[in-house]
């Protein structure tokens, strides 16, 4: 997107100066609007051309049978996939006899801008139809943070030079056609879903459609109402059929006049409520929105975001692209979570159908840590969702022969939806990942009510899982065998270091919280002996170490395996999983994504500084980053061990994952974890943020290109600002009474008195680690755009060709 020379780098927006039809699906993801409840892809108002039309409601899914080449006990039989619900965005325009379609006629200008402070998507078009009518169209779209069920569009069209007849058709459309299915396993399965009509109506400015899903038993209502300004002669009609509700405005408009249509869209859905109840719910939401009005919605939106940015903003000097990218990232992380309210935060948010709209472990390990320190109530909600599917997780544990709860690797509604168990069922760490998020949310907020009602049962049931999964061997080690860690290029290994450290935390935290809430724990059948067992298992947790090589193995036998032949692997053979069999990948030392390095990020105290440096160097040489869940982690550890240029490079990869479409699948939706990772790379990487004994600790250090970095955090009812410059860091308390933090190990107590400044000690870094051949991180030159991309062309090949055809030459630096 912004890699195009026509894009501008703006601090507070993503601005597309020239319309690029070839990357439309990608920009639809980038320009998606969401509040965590409703998600609307950045499809054009008039519906066509489109990359992938998409309107989503959190947790509205369809079921499909999961097939297997060979059946086996315990394989999930039904999957869940996010579905494209009724499209409320559609506003078609006819200019005289000609549909407004930018594939025809002449575009004088076409800009789109995602405004990160106002939470709106602006579009301005200046266009002459094939028949010679020139018009200007302006639309502003929002999905309301303040009114969960509401989206709205302000659409204006005016004639230039001559009077002309406009027909506007504002619609709700169900059962839109989707593009054929991609073969990439990361995309959605695009099953042919069919929403079944239950009610349709349209009257005056209002329309409504109610549908239900075929197999998952959900009922969906979509409604619209409008306020319209225009010539007094304009005429308004309405009509509906089972899949369409339509309001039509017809007017003869003179130059200087315009039509201004504000469309209010409301959604409601339920698995329980009746058709009349859904009907009323939608109409009620519309009434509230109409009363608020367009300007009211705009101002509520701004106000919501002002609060967010006051808690979460990150400011940079020296690198405007990263500045833009990290705000873009935080905005989308907010969009995915703001009003999810006890529903999941999917891997792609509600920006596209990628990964079937499933939620995975990266929500807890990549997304929630950011929100924990910037918007913690969203974390409570996300973990409440985990709590709401605890019964399914307990049933699943029982089904696979374990105690406690086994959370699904991928799901929408709580049931395991994974069709390949070595990379899902075996990735038991998801359970400890949830526990990790619980522990840190509690640590950051001191939310004792949450701890007792939500945290306690989650910690207990996951601790029970670990205790039944592992066992104490004759040597007195608590071993956890046959699991898959974060690195998906290994599977079914014994004693994955990450998993064992996480399980240890999980067991200890469960014991601690159960002791703190003895009465509540007792009601969950926790007895002293069980707590003692957890503590003993945690104490004796087997943490492999290779004393000869002085390296922490990713898993017990990882270091014994052959090292992947990187020299012989061609650039076009990445990502490896699309070109090599798992039998090949699993038996070699090759790392898809940070695993032991992630363990070193999350358990900083479990490794000495020297050990971290050695391990980092070792795994750098093996890590190919075929996952978007790696660069940010590598950035964090690179910064810690003093590899600041490398940290800067990885920061860029994380930050530009979607803006530059580095994984070539942004069209299916944005990578929430990688977006969150750009914050992590900055705050935990360059800012050196860690948790230490319940406090926040900072070990800030900036790379050459970034002259200043400032970020804000919420922690224990305090709002903190940290500003880092070349040689010093300044800590301010923006809100709250006082708080202790650590600066490079030194304790500082912040109060409202005055900011505290400390100098940054130097670090003796080891030589720059090497990466696998052809997998070095992208090296950016922040003065120039776009950056050099090492793995594959900067544009998708097809995009380049399309652009070439149209005479626009992409600049690859």
Residues that bind a copy of itself (CB under 8 A): 66-76, 79, 183, 185, 399-402, 418-422, 425-426, 471, 473, 479, 481-483, 491-492, 494, 556-557, 560-562, 577-584, 586-588
The Cα–Cα gap between 51 and 46 comes to 13
The Cα–Cα gap between 484 and 582 comes to 13
The distance of closest approach from Cβ of residue 347 to a copy of itself in the complex, given in angstroms and rounded to an integer, is 15
What ranges make up the beta strands (E) of 219-286? 219-229, 235-241, 244-253, 259-270
The Cα–Cα gap between 562 and 586 comes to 10
Annotated ligand binding at 593? The verdict is yes
Q: Phi first, then psi: give them for residue 682, nearest 5 degrees.
A: -75, -50
Full DSSP string of 706-722 = --EEEEEEEETTEEEEE
Of 12 and 580, which CB lies nearer to a copy of itself in the complex structure? 580
Of 82 and 602, which CB lies nearer to a copy of itself in the complex structure? 82
The Cα–Cα gap between 143 and 673 comes to 22
CB 487 within 8 A of CB 595: yes
The Cα–Cα gap between 724 and 735 comes to 19
The distance of closest approach from Cβ of residue 490 to a copy of itself in the complex, given in angstroms and rounded to an integer, is 9
CB 373 within 8 A of CB 718: no
Annotated ligand binding at 362? The verdict is yes
The distance of closest approach from Cβ of residue 203 to a copy of itself in the complex, given in angstroms and rounded to an integer, is 46
Q: Which helix (H) or strand (E) holds 282?
A: helix 275-312
Dihedral sign for Cα atoms in the order 603, 604, 605, 610: positive
Of 76 and 344, which CB lies nearer to a copy of itself in the complex structure? 76
Burial of 346 (0-12, 13-18, 19+ CB in 10 A): buried
Largest distance between two CA atoms of the chain: 90
The distance of closest approach from Cβ of residue 620 to a copy of itself in the complex, given in angstroms and rounded to an integer, is 20
Give the torsion through C-alpha atoms of 766, 767, 768, 771, to 10 deg.
-100
CB 186 within 8 A of CB 668: yes
Dihedral sign for Cα atoms in the order 41, 42, 47, 52: negative
The distance of closest approach from Cβ of residue 579 to a copy of itself in the complex, given in angstroms and rounded to an integer, is 6
SS3 585: helix
Annotated ligand binding at 592? The verdict is yes
The distance of closest approach from Cβ of residue 431 to a copy of itself in the complex, given in angstroms and rounded to an integer, is 13
Q: CA geometry: angle at 673 spanning 584 and 347, to 5°? A: 80
* Radius of gyration, CA atoms only, the chain: 27
Of 73 and 233, which CB lies nearer to a copy of itself in the complex structure? 73
Of 135 and 541, which CB lies nearer to a copy of itself in the complex structure? 541
Using the structure block, give the residue that is written with the tokens 């709401």.
388
Tokens at 258, concatenated: 């315009």
CB 163 within 8 A of CB 254: yes
Full DSSP string of 8-77 = EE-SSEEEESS--GGGHHHHHHHT-EE-SSEEE----TT--S-S---EEETT-EEEEEPP-SS--TT---
Question: Helix 456-469 and helix 390-399: axis angle, to 10°?
Answer: 10
Of 79 and 354, which CB lies nearer to a copy of itself in the complex structure? 79
Q: CB count, 10 Å around CB of 448?
A: 12
Q: Which residues contact 229 (CB under 8 A, 6 or more apart)?
A: 259, 260, 261
Quick one: which of 763, 743, 756 has its CA closest to 690?
743
Dihedral sign for Cα atoms in the order 673, 654, 334, 40: negative
CB 476 within 8 A of CB 518: no
The distance of closest approach from Cβ of residue 28 to a copy of itself in the complex, given in angstroms and rounded to an integer, is 25
The distance of closest approach from Cβ of residue 561 to a copy of itself in the complex, given in angstroms and rounded to an integer, is 5
The distance of closest approach from Cβ of residue 483 to a copy of itself in the complex, given in angstroms and rounded to an integer, is 8
Of 419 and 642, which CB lies nearer to a copy of itself in the complex structure? 419
Of 440 and 664, which CB lies nearer to a copy of itself in the complex structure? 664
The distance of closest approach from Cβ of residue 560 to a copy of itself in the complex, given in angstroms and rounded to an integer, is 6
Q: Which helix (H) or strand (E) holds 537?
A: helix 528-539
Bridge partners, residue 241, by sequence: 244
The distance of closest approach from Cβ of residue 792 to a copy of itself in the complex, given in angstroms and rounded to an integer, is 17
Tokens at 329, concatenated: 């990232």
Kindly list the catalytic residues.
Answer: 488
Of 234 and 400, which CB lies nearer to a copy of itself in the complex structure? 400
Of 103 and 581, which CB lies nearer to a copy of itself in the complex structure? 581
Of 426 and 706, which CB lies nearer to a copy of itself in the complex structure? 426
Tokens at 42, concatenated: 């950045």
The Cα–Cα gap between 331 and 308 comes to 9
Binding residues for substrate: 361-362, 592-593
Binding residues: 361-362, 592-593
């Amino acid at each position: 997107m912004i890699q195009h020379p026509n894009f501008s780098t703006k601090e507070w927006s993503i601005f597309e100066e020239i319309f690029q039809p070839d990357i439309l699906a990608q920009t639809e993801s980038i320009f998606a609007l969401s509040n965590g409840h409703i998600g609307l892809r950045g499809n054009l108002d008039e519906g066509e051309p489109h990359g992938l039309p998409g309107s989503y409601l959190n947790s509205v899914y369809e079921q499909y049978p999961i097939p297997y080449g060979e059946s086996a006990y315990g394989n999930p039989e039904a999957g869940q996939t996010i579905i494209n619900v009724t499209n409320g965005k559609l506003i078609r325009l006819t200019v005289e006899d000609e549909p407004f379609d930018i594939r025809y006629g002449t575009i004088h200008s076409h800009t789109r801008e995602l405004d990160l402070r106002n939470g709106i998507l602006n579009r301005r078009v200046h266009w002459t139809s094939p028949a010679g009518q020139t018009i200007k169209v302006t639309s502003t779209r929002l999905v309301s943070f303040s009114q969960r069920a509401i989206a709205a569009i302000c659409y204006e069209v005016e004639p230039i030079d001559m009077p002309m007849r406009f027909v506007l058709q504002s619609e709700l459309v169900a059962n839109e056609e989707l593009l054929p299915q991609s073969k990439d396993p990361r995309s959605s399965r695009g099953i042919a879903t069919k929403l079944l009509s239950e009610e349709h109506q349209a009257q005056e400015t209002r329309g409504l459609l109610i549908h239900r899903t075929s197999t998952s038993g959900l009922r969906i209502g979509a409604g619209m109402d409008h306020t319209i300004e225009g010539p007094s002669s304009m005429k308004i009609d309405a009509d509906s059929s089972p899949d369409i509700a339509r309001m039509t405005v017809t007017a003869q408009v003179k130059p200087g006049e315009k039509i201004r249509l504000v469309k209010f869209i409301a959604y409601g859905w339920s698995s329980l409520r009746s058709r009349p109840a859904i009907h009323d719910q939608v109409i009620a939401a519309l009434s509230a929105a109409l009363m608020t009005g367009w300007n009211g919605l705009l101002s509520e939106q701004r106000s919501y975001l002002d609060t967010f940015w006051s808690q979460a903003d990150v400011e940079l000097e020296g690198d405007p692209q990263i500045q833009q990218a990290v705000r873009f990232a935080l905005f989308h992380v907010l969009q995915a979570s703001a009003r999810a309210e006890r529903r999941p935060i999917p891997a792609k948010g509600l920006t596209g159908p990628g990964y079937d709209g499933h939620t995975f472990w990266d929500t807890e390990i990549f997304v929630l840590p950011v929100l924990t320190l910037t918007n913690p109530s969203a974390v409570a909600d996300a973990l409440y969702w985990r709590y709401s599917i605890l019964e399914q997780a307990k049933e699943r544990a029982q089904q696979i022969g374990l105690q406690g709860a086994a959370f699904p690797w991928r799901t929408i509604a709580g049931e395991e939806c994974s069709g390949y168990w070595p990379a899902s069922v075996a990735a038991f760490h998801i359970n400890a990942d949830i526990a990790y998020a619980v522990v840190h949310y509690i640590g950051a907020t001191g939310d004792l009510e949450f701890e007792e009602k939500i945290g306690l049962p989650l910690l207990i049931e996951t601790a029970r899982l670990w205790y039944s999964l592992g066992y104490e061997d004759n040597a007195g080690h608590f071993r956890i065998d046959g699991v898959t860690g974060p690195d998906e290029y290994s599977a079914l290994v014994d004693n994955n270091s990450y998993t064992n450290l996480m399980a240890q935390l999980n067991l200890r935290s469960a014991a601690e919280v159960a002791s703190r809430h003895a009465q509540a724990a007792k009601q969950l059948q926790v007895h002293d002996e069980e707590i003692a067992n957890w503590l003993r298992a945690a104490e004796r947790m087997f943490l492999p170490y290779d004393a000869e090589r002085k390296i922490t193995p990713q898993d017990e036998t990882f270091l014994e395996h052959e090292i992947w032949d990187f020299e012989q692997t061609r650039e076009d053979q990445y990502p490896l999983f699309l070109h090599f069999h798992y039998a090949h990948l699993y038996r070699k030392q090759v790392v898809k994504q940070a695993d032991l390095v992630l363990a070193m990020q999350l358990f900083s105290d479990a490794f000495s500084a020297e050990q971290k440096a050695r391990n980092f160097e070792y795994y750098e040489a093996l890590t190919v980053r075929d996952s978007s869940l790696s660069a940010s982690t590598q950035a964090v550890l690179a910064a810690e061990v003093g590899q600041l240029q490398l940290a800067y490079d990885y920061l860029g990869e994380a930050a530009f994952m979607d803006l530059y479409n580095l994984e070539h699948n942004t069209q299916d939706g944005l990578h929430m974890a990688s977006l969150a990772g750009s914050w992590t790379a900055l705050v935990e990487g360059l800012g050196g943020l860690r948790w230490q004994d319940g406090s926040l600790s900072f070990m800030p250090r900036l790379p050459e290109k970034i002259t200043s970095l400032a970020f804000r955090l919420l922690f224990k009812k305090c709002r903190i600002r940290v500003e880092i410059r070349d040689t010093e860091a300044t800590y301010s308390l923006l809100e709250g009474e006082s708080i202790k933090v650590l600066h490079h190990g030194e304790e500082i107590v912040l109060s409202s008195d005055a900011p505290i400044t400390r100098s940054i000690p130097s670090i003796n870094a080891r030589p720059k680690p090497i990466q696998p051949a052809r997998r070095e991180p992208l090296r950016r030159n922040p003065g120039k755009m776009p950056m050099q991309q090492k793995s594959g062309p900067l544009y998708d090949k097809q995009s380049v060709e399309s652009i070439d055809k149209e005479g626009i030459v992409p600049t690859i630096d």
